[in-house]
Structure 1
Amino acid sequence: MRTLGVVLAAALALTACGTTNSASSGGDCPNGKVRFGVEPYEDPAKLKPAYEVLAKALATKLGCEVELQVVDDYAAEVLAMRNGKLEIAQFGPLGYVFASQKAKAEPMVSFADGSGKLTSYTAGIWVAKDSPARTIEDLAGKSLALSSVGSASGDALPRYGLKKHNVADVKLDYAGGHPEAMLSLINGKVDAAEINSQQLATAKGTGTFDESKFRQIWKSEPIPNDPITVRGDLDPAFKDKVRKALLELSPADVEKVGAFLDVTPPGPLVQVNNDTYKVLFDLATTLGLQEEDV
């Protein structure tokens, strides 16, 4: 569990990844710009160029500067929005639950496929092909690599799966991210690891994961994809302007980001609301999660 000091330090360590200017800055945008936060659910060096494409297109639609920031972790992003340092932010579904409660984050849009349908992904637990573990119940007494505290697919859902199946005495190892959890399994450092469907698609595409050498022993129900949110205490007219601009982005504008979220082929962004993420609110309640757990 993080202390307040650690969380504050994380928030102060926001990494500004770039500023995208439109033809004219200022206008109706707060302080003349929009600060857009993104969680580091993949290597930030890989995320940056993808989100710069989206940010540039958004800046053009809004007519103001968009400043892209990749934050340290879930907690840092929630705290940054709560402290008025972000106007919009993309959260993981579970991170959004607490951002809505503590930072007044309001969901605007998420990622759709080529048919315009909201996309989803699944959490999963994998073992080596020669592992004696065949089901999630077989993980009792074994080690399991998880992503990072607060991740829906990389933390909460695998733990929920263990709880639901009454599996005790599992050694949980927080690797620091989805790629790191997967590498822990590949390198034989743990008996099992969480690998969600998005990370699986990315790793297979880059040749870093040979699926024939591993086996999935548990999979969650579908999780709606990440929401892009706006800070709730901003002017309603500005919030409407941002939502409209995001909904007007073309599939090409979001294609590079969509590739990290296993959205292929990509469609335009689609509108979402609190009800879209009810399953995550219920999950947080079931596990008794608090803000400090994210």
Structure 2
Amino acid sequence: MRRSSFPAVLAAAAVVLAALTVLLAACGGGQNTAGSEPKKLVVGLVPSQEAENLDAKAKPLADLLSEKLGVPVEVFVGSDYTAVIEGMGAGQVDIGFLNPKGYVTAKEKGYADVLLKAVRNGSDTYRAQIVVAHDSPIRAIADLKGKKIAYVDPQSTSGYVYPVVLLKKNGIDPEKDVTMVEAGGHDKTILALLRGDVDAAFSFDDARTIVQKADPAVMDKTRILAYTDPIPNDTVSVRTNLPNEWKDKIKQAFLDIAQDEKGKQVIRDIYNHEGYAPAQDSDFDVVREADRLLNQ
């Protein structure tokens, strides 16, 4: 697959993890050991929008969690999904808002257990979409052959995994037939499309709303080419070696916050969550199957 900005993940892994450890130590991470009572909790998030905006929106959630759990809670906004996953593996991040693919990866590594799935629009599933310009000659997925496509991150379920599987199911070889451009955020894939940098964009349904402030006419300038199969919503996950008592406390804290009017607004502001539903690992077997198809 031709990627014009794909990171050298393996070569940079040691550097990223070292930098992550320094960053999280500065915000209080790394104080908890396996099976011990946490002295402080760190919540890890991945930006689907500008990181500084997410950091500010997440601070009220940290305050609510701290009030309910009785320990200080701080926020870490990772540069990408891998930063939060590796932070959990290193014991530096205790609670992760992991996307489905990110959770599956973290679970396979033994880093995370899932507690809850987000609810949006009354559902605990969502879809990915492929977006093109309104006046684009691209009318079918087959027309994407030879085109340039913006994606979010290789660990993004809706911004990479499911749309690429959809391409493969429609006869597009992602290794040979398209050029993939890593944008780093769902808003950024749409913005790249609006600038004319790419011919199509992968994102969650409907990420166009988060760029309406930047371009109020985005809905008129673009259209949805295709949707993917349903995907389990993103998760509230915790590091595996957190004591079970604390896993239960954290789960209940999120459920309580989602029932409170102030709390509802806070979680809506961060990722547009309406509430949370109980989750189990088997809920994400469909994501594992998509990952298998991706790597065939």
TM-score by length of 2: 0.84
Q: Which residue is 2:267 aligned to? A: 257
Q: Cα–Cα, structure 1 residues 129 and 198, in superposed 2: closer, same or farther, change >3 Å?
A: closer
5 Å matches for 1:187-206? 187-204=195-212
Q: Which residue is 1:64 aligned to? A: 71
Q: Is the 8 A contact 2:129 2:206 kept in 1?
A: no
Q: Which residue is 1:281 aligned to? A: 288
Q: Cα–Cα, structure 1 residues 38 and 202, in superposed 2: closer, same or farther, change >3 Å?
A: same
Q: Is the 8 A contact 1:111 1:225 kept in 2?
A: yes
| Matched positions, count | 277
Distance between the aligned counterparts of 2:233 and 2:64, measured in 1? 21
Q: CA deviation at 1:280?
A: 0.9
1:154 and 2:159 matched = yes
Q: Cα–Cα, structure 1 residues 48 and 68, in superposed 2: closer, same or farther, change >3 Å?
A: same
Q: CA deviation at 1:207?
A: 4.4
Distance between the aligned counterparts of 2:293 and 2:46, measured in 1? 24
5 Å matches for 1:203-214? 203-204=211-212, 207-208=215-216, 210-214=218-222
Q: Is the 8 A contact 1:147 1:176 kept in 2?
A: yes
Q: Cα–Cα, structure 1 residues 209 and 284, in superposed 2: closer, same or farther, change >3 Å?
A: farther
Secondary structure at 2:212 match in 1 = helix
Q: Is the 8 A contact 1:184 1:190 kept in 2?
A: yes
Secondary structure at 1:13 match in 2 = helix
Secondary structure at 1:32 match in 2 = coil
Secondary structure at 1:130 match in 2 = coil
Q: Is the 8 A contact 2:42 2:74 kept in 1?
A: yes
- Please list the CA deviations of residues 259-285 of structure 1 after superposition, one character each: whole Å capped at 9, or x if unmatched: 45444xx2x432211122222121112
Q: Which of 165, 170, 183 pairs up with 1:165?
A: 170
Q: Cα–Cα, structure 1 residues 260 and 106, in superposed 2: closer, same or farther, change >3 Å?
A: same
Q: Is the 8 A contact 1:81 1:231 kept in 2?
A: yes
Q: Percent identity?
A: 29
- Please list the CA deviations of residues 95-153 of structure 1 after superposition, one character each: whole Å capped at 9, or x if unmatched: 11101111431111232358xx4433221111112211101111111111111221111
Secondary structure at 1:72 match in 2 = coil
5 Å matches for 1:217-256? 217-249=225-257, 250-256=260-266
Q: Which residue is 1:4 aligned to? A: 10
- Please list the CA deviations of residues 174-201 of structure 1 after superposition, one character each: whole Å capped at 9, or x if unmatched: 1222122111110111111113224223
Q: CA deviation at 1:206?
A: 6.1
Q: CA deviation at 1:5?
A: 4.2
Q: Is the 8 A contact 2:126 2:233 kept in 1?
A: yes
Q: Is the 8 A contact 2:124 2:277 kept in 1?
A: no
Pairwise CA RMSD of aligned residues?
Answer: 2.5
Runs of 4+ in 1 over 6 A off after TM superposition: 17-20
TM-score by length of 1: 0.85
1:126 and 2:131 matched = yes
Q: Cα–Cα, structure 1 residues 53 and 254, in superposed 2: closer, same or farther, change >3 Å?
A: farther
What is the letter of the counterpart of residue 76 of structure 1? A
Q: CA deviation at 1:10?
A: 2.4
Q: Is the 8 A contact 2:80 2:184 kept in 1?
A: no
1:138 and 2:143 matched = yes
Secondary structure at 1:167 match in 2 = coil
Distance between the aligned counterparts of 1:262 and 1:66, measured in 2? 21
Q: Cα–Cα, structure 1 residues 96 and 208, in superposed 2: closer, same or farther, change >3 Å?
A: farther
- Please list the CA deviations of residues 35-68 of structure 1 after superposition, one character each: whole Å capped at 9, or x if unmatched: 1111122211111122111111111110111121
Q: Is the 8 A contact 2:112 2:237 kept in 1?
A: yes
- Structure 2 unpaired stretches of 5+: 1-6, 29-34
Distance between the aligned counterparts of 2:290 and 2:124, measured in 1? 19
Distance between the aligned counterparts of 1:219 and 1:273, measured in 2? 25
Q: Which of 38, 45, 50 pairs up with 1:38?
A: 45
